[in-house]
Structure 1
Amino acid sequence: MGVPTLRARPVPVQHPPELVLPQPATGRAGQPMLFADPQPVTGAAVAGDVSPALPDAAATAAALVRLVLESLAGRRPAAQLSRWFSEEVLAELAVQRGLRRRSRRHPDVVVHSVRVQHPLPAVAEASIHLRGPDRSLAWAMRLEATSRRWLCTGLELGPRRTPG
């Protein structure tokens, strides 16, 4: 009597083929972006080639906040801000300037701290803590690299008061 021979058969594939999904452009894992703007980022932010000549984003954000404070208080003409702010931000600042002119109250606030994160290579998002005599404020700013400088493309002034 002969010994039965065993034949090994390959195991059939148990898993479906791998599905490759595009990854969101967040820069770092778990780092959310401040502004949920559905518009695509253009220019150097897509290319990822940040010029080493760019100034420090935190220092730029602090300087831009001081410009906004001077403009809102009526001490700086809005035309001087056009080099550093997008048209959308300038339009929002014009509305805020009108609201604050009507209130005639210009409290002296100072920049207490600035925190910056880079969700993309040529994008900086800053959170700014301002201190006044009777309260603190939090502002958020989005900066995008354009040639050798930062351009503010988003600005959230908070908290907002409703007119009336």
Structure 2
Amino acid sequence: MTVIVPESTPRTPAGGYSWRQDRSAAALTGKNESERVAAIARSIGQAAVEILAGTRPASQLSRWTDPEVVERFAERAAMLKLVQEQCPERRSLFEVHRAARVRRVRVCSPAAGCYEASLVVEESTRARAVALRIERTARQWRVTHLEVG
């Protein structure tokens, strides 16, 4: 059986993903820009929860965040680890971080070059809220504020 594909139909690779031809900053406007910010928020939110779980080092946030954010998360992860070591009977409370999955991402733009995102991260026994402020600096996006509830 032969299938004829009209020439006007764009072809996509077997994986279903095709790279954009124009990857300049000017091309990342409107919907494309908010999609990019949502992807950044999703990965940073997932990483933040994993840092608090102790499965990822806080230094991995340094590429995308301000140094104050990395320092704060390193301190918070160290405190949680200390509590786990000192209270072995409460260890089961800290296991909720293990299988966290980002369920929903909402992005809005209060000003040009600035986005705020909220995420719902679902764990095995509860859901957590993550809030981020992402700003464009020079040619890259930077997370300036990050809160995990």
Amino acid paired to 2:120: H
Name structure 1 gaps, 5 residues minimum: 1-50, 159-164
Shift of 1:65: 1.2
Shift of 1:95: 2.1
Q: Specify whether residues 99 and 52 from structure 1 end up closer, same or farther in structure 2 by C-alpha distance, changes over 3 A only.
A: farther
Shift of 1:97: 0.6
Amino acid paired to 1:121: A
After superposing on structure 2, the runs of 4+ consecutive aligned residues of structure 1 that deviate more than 4 Å are: none
TM-score w.r.t. length of structure 1: 0.59
Count of aligned residue pairs for this structure pair: 109
Shift of 1:82: 1.0
Identical counterparts, % of pairs:
37
Computed over aligned residues only, the root mean square deviation of the Cα atoms, in angstroms, reads 2.0
CA contact (8 A) 1:100 1:106 kept: no
Name structure 2 gaps, 5 residues minimum: 1-24, 85-93
Q: More helix by proportion, 1 or 2?
A: 2
The one of the two structures with greater contact order (alpha-carbon pairs below 8 A, sep at least 6) is: 1
Match of 2:53 among 48, 73, 83: 73
Question: Rg bigger for which structure?
Answer: 1
Which residue of structure 2 aligns with residue 117 of structure 1?
A: 108
Amino acid paired to 2:147: E
Distance, in Å, in 2 between the alignment partners of 1:118 and 1:126 is 9
Which residue of structure 2 aligns with residue 133 of structure 1?
A: 124
TM-score w.r.t. length of structure 2: 0.65
Shift of 1:53: 5.7
